[in-house]
Amino acid sequence: MTELTRSTIKPLAITMWDFSWLERRWPGSGFEDWGQALDELLERGYNAVRIDAYPHLILRDPAAEYELIPVWSVNDWGSPMRCRVQVMPALTDFISACAKRKIKVLLSSWFRRDTGQSWRMLFNPKLHALAWSRTLNLIRDAGLMDTILGLDICNEWPIPIWAPYVYGEDEDLAAGTGPKSYTWDDPRALNWANETMDRIRQEYPAMPLTFSTQMDGDWGKAVNCDFWEPHIWMVGGEFYNRLQWTFTHKFDHSEFERVQLYARDLYQADPAHWQNILRGSIENMAAHARSHGKVLMTTECWGIVDYKDGPMLDWDWVMELCALGTEISAQSGSWAAIGTSNFCAPQFVGMWRDVAWHQRLTKLIKSSPIQVPLSADLATRMAGAAG
């Protein structure tokens, strides 16, 4: 693909369907009918989706049934209770449904914990890479590689809740209860990620690779990533500090009650202040990308991290911030794929049902420029997505 052809590629409008695509399959949960969910995604103008491929479960046995332990009960990603899943052939069936609709798939993993503790198999980068190679082999054998946009080796690397295998025998850190996890640019985490990507490239040299992260760090060290996948929200600092939000109450509503009572009023007391924080975060990330010649993709973003449908939880202020973040990132020219929020999924009814809101923003995304160089491999994988 020539530079001229690459210059005509437009950003993808992407959403995060995480592990919900497989776990939320009970009546009324949003993903019991994949065809309907994907058709509704197309109606809203999206042409890419990021999902959990469960590579550690594939490494152990792709056809086995696993009982998964919930990450939380208060959030509406995944299942709030234990559930049983079978990764294959569900994974290739879902990707095939995306392929028929020209929806590109960005693979990722939250390395969900099952009762058999399968995550413990990944005790070094070699096994981390092997899990992903086995996953890609199944997709390749199904003739679906053209639908894969790229690979995020771990969601929000290296937070213990998603990457417990990195912390070895430190049970407190692996359980997410230790005093501090590594930052992504800590040599222990960065060396692991780089070796994992290098090993995957030995078998799949044309697959664009990255690790997503919600952390600040020295982006000059992320040279081994083919693209960067930063997760950016307005709330990651002053706003959550003022709410006393700690991310630790995953099975009771005590922190969500603070959001109910105070979050909307806190934002509306000084919208310009909070919007400027968001604007600065996006513009700083865009500047990092330009200075290092990296293109960005962001699938979790813009307003608040944790939210859902519920009493006293209005969507207006969240959607206002999400629209602003989408507009700023689209105008920057630094993004190859842009999400509108982390709530763009059928289970978040209050946001999902506003079809016109989604259509306005996805139209903007897909008509925006990309002013950072695209690799030929990434440009080829972006081409052919639904218009």
104: helix, strand or coil: strand
Amino acid identity of 123?
F
Q: Tell how strand 296-298 and strand 335-338 pair up.
A: parallel
Residues of the chain with pLDDT under 70: 1-7, 169-180
CATH number of the structural domain spanning residue 362? 3.20.20.80
pLDDT attached to residue 216: 83
Domains identified in the chain, total number: 1
Chain segment 36-74, per-residue pLDDT in tens: 999 999 999 999 999 999 999 999 999 999 999 999 999
DSSP state of 294: -
Cα 284 to Cα 213, 272, 350: the distances in Å are 15, 18, 31
What is the rounded CA–CA span in Å between residue 43 and residue 30?
16
What's the chain's average pLDDT?
94
Token pair in block for residue 223:
């040279």
pLDDT attached to residue 176: 58
Check: CB of residue 5 under 8 Å from CB of residue 379.
Answer: yes
218's CB contacts (< 8 A; 6+ apart) are 185
Q: Which residue has the tokens 């975060």?
A: 281
Give the Cβ contact number of residue 302 at 10 Å.
Answer: 30
pLDDT attached to residue 171: 62
Query: Is residue 308 domain-resident?
Result: yes
Q: Residue 301: which H helix or E strand, with range? A: strand 301-302
pLDDT attached to residue 178: 52
Query: Is residue 246 domain-resident?
Result: yes
Check: CB of residue 74 under 8 Å from CB of residue 252.
Answer: yes
What is the rounded CA–CA span in Å between residue 189 and residue 173?
14
Q: Rounded to the nearest 5 degrees, what angle is found at the Cα of 312, between the Cα atoms of 306 and 313?
A: 30
Amino acid identity of 369?
P
pLDDT attached to residue 230: 97
Token pair in block for residue 271:
């919208």
pLDDT attached to residue 174: 62
Residue 93's nearest CA partner among 16, 25, 153 is 25
Q: Which residue has the tokens 């209050």?
A: 350
Give the Cβ contact number of residue 237 at 10 Å.
Answer: 11
What is the rounded CA–CA span in Å between residue 178 and residue 370?
41
The partner residues of 13 in beta bridges, in order of sequence, read 338
Helical H segments across the chain, by residue range? 3-7, 20-23, 34-43, 55-60, 90-100, 125-141, 171-174, 187-203, 238-243, 254-258, 264-269, 271-292, 316-332, 349-352, 355-366, 376-382
pTM exceeds cut of 0.85: yes
How far is the first Cα of the chain from the last one, in angstroms, to the nearest whole number?
Answer: 20
193: helix, strand or coil: helix
Give the Cβ contact number of residue 274 at 10 Å.
Answer: 22
The 10 Å CB-count burial string (b at 16+, else e) for 331-350 is ebbbbbbbbbbbbbbbbbeb
Query: Is residue 387 domain-resident?
Result: no
What is the rounded CA–CA span in Å between residue 174 and residue 192?
16
Give the Cβ contact number of residue 135 at 10 Å.
Answer: 24
Cα 322 to Cα 104, 300, 328, 332, 374: the distances in Å are 22, 10, 10, 16, 26
State which residues form the domain around 101: 3-382
